[in-house]
Structure 1
């Protein structure tokens, strides 16, 4: 996943922020590739559960080092909302990883990148924000790009192609709920509950699906956990260094690295409709980000 809440002090060093964002997309693409490999061999629930154990440990480590410690980070007046956020995100990750095993990295990510458009579309009814006709037009164009990728009327439509769209929709709702929670809670509090609630929920499910893992795959699992922590750390530093509106367009590099990994390692092919549809989605997403920056 290539989006996180901004953290603490804002320095606004845009070049460094861009470099950190690009580095984060490289790490997250690697994480996607490892997730596809492991979830193709073992069940998705166990893979995500172990990944969340390390993520929760990272979150609690950051909270313990912050002023006030874990108690300050965990303090919230909207506990059930924070728990819902954490459960929603871990559910979205399960759907996304399952999509990698069914559709592959390239097609899954090509559809998933429409999530900023879904955030823009849902920000009106969910948060009461104003969505002008230009952004509605961009949302419509982006969804045309999704349809080009999915090809629902071509007679060879694979219903599994809906999986990454469901993942994108869940992530969009997660983003909106996070923005709503930020009206009362700090970034540190939301980040803490993202890891802890997700870990508890995923452990309650994943522990029943435990499978023996080979020594080699334990190495890949360890690398998956390290990449998850590293990616989130890079994002936190990225948003400390620069405004989100300046660096967010570079999150689309995630698709480029994922496509390269899919072709080089998993033998995937970029079909013409996927390339055209992804290009349209990216263009619409960049326009939406630009409009938000202009309005801001």
Structure 2
């Protein structure tokens, strides 16, 4: 999960650098098209062998949810500071927690309820509605967080029945096909430099998704997800050093509140699981 986070920071920096010259749907389509090229050695034999019927609906469902997520993310990334995109993205673990309760039958303990409430307060500190303008970029990133959480729930389910390579390869294929009509509708001419940068985005993102799929297969979401919080530090440094973005104290405080709430619940539930494994002495 640490390697996944580093990869996605690379994605964030490059997309911020490319700015608003390309429509979000076109940028996302080219990025995933490169992903299909990179993953062709995995995709071709997999498609020749066919997919069991149970897997295909899961791959299709994840791909469609992910399309909405990446378009919203590309739109937000070009319009609001890197650190704010990252901090708002920390809503993912909160939404994942709710999703695992609804779809995987996990118990919603009092600790989880309190952690969710504190995390939402952290999100309000980042956004500060009423004290500053909440732009369409902020709204797009909130929508992206919701859709990404849905995509990660599909990924968690797929990790039980498919390999990490298959999960990532099918994601790239389904998202590319789904984005194609939308991208062609808004297409604008692009330079070779833009095409090359989006290839680097695809390489970083593909590595990030692969590492994330391996992490989901190796450990519960509650264990793997908090590691991504290190991205806030890297994102803030990237925005300051490369793009001249001021380090917003409220963004750091809000991100820290979310980090603390989810990290606490992860630690507390880990302790409880260890206690439950200790045999009772009669």
Relative to the length of structure 2, the TM-score reads 0.83
Does the CA-based 8 Å contact 1:63-1:192 persist in structure 2? yes
Indicate the structure whose relative CO is greater, using CA pairs within 8 Å and at least 6 residues apart: 1
- Partner SS state of residue 131, structure 1: coil
Residues 1:186 and 2:166 are matched in the alignment:
no
Q: CA deviation at 1:293?
A: 3.7
- Partner SS state of residue 152, structure 1: coil
Q: 1:199 to 1:32 in 2, by over 3 A?
A: same
CA distance in 2, matches of 1:105, 1:78: 35
CA distance in 1, matches of 2:272, 2:59: 29
Does the CA-based 8 Å contact 1:108-1:164 persist in structure 2? yes
Residues 1:42 and 2:22 are matched in the alignment:
yes
Which consecutive unaligned segments of at least 5 residues does structure 2 have? 274-282
CA distance in 1, matches of 2:11, 2:47: 28
Q: CA deviation at 1:246?
A: 5.2
Among 72, 79, 86, the alignment partner of 2:56 is 79
Q: 1:72 to 1:275 in 2, by over 3 A?
A: same
- In structure 2, the partner of 1:70 is 47
Does the CA-based 8 Å contact 2:33-2:176 persist in structure 1? yes
Relative to the length of structure 1, the TM-score reads 0.80
Q: CA deviation at 1:247?
A: 4.8
CA distance in 1, matches of 2:42, 2:213: 11
Deviations 1:200-254 (A, max 9, x none): 10112112222222233233223222222333344456668x6466554322222
- In structure 2, the partner of 1:290 is 267
Q: 1:248 to 1:158 in 2, by over 3 A?
A: closer
Q: 1:134 to 1:239 in 2, by over 3 A?
A: closer
Q: CA deviation at 1:101?
A: 1.5
Q: 1:246 to 1:85 in 2, by over 3 A?
A: closer
CA distance in 2, matches of 1:217, 1:134: 46
CA distance in 1, matches of 2:62, 2:232: 25
CA distance in 2, matches of 1:44, 1:190: 24
Q: CA deviation at 1:58?
A: 3.5
The count of corresponding residues between Structure 1 and Structure 2 is 270
- Partner SS state of residue 74, structure 1: coil
Which consecutive unaligned segments of at least 5 residues does structure 1 have? 1-20
- In structure 1, the partner of 2:4 is 24
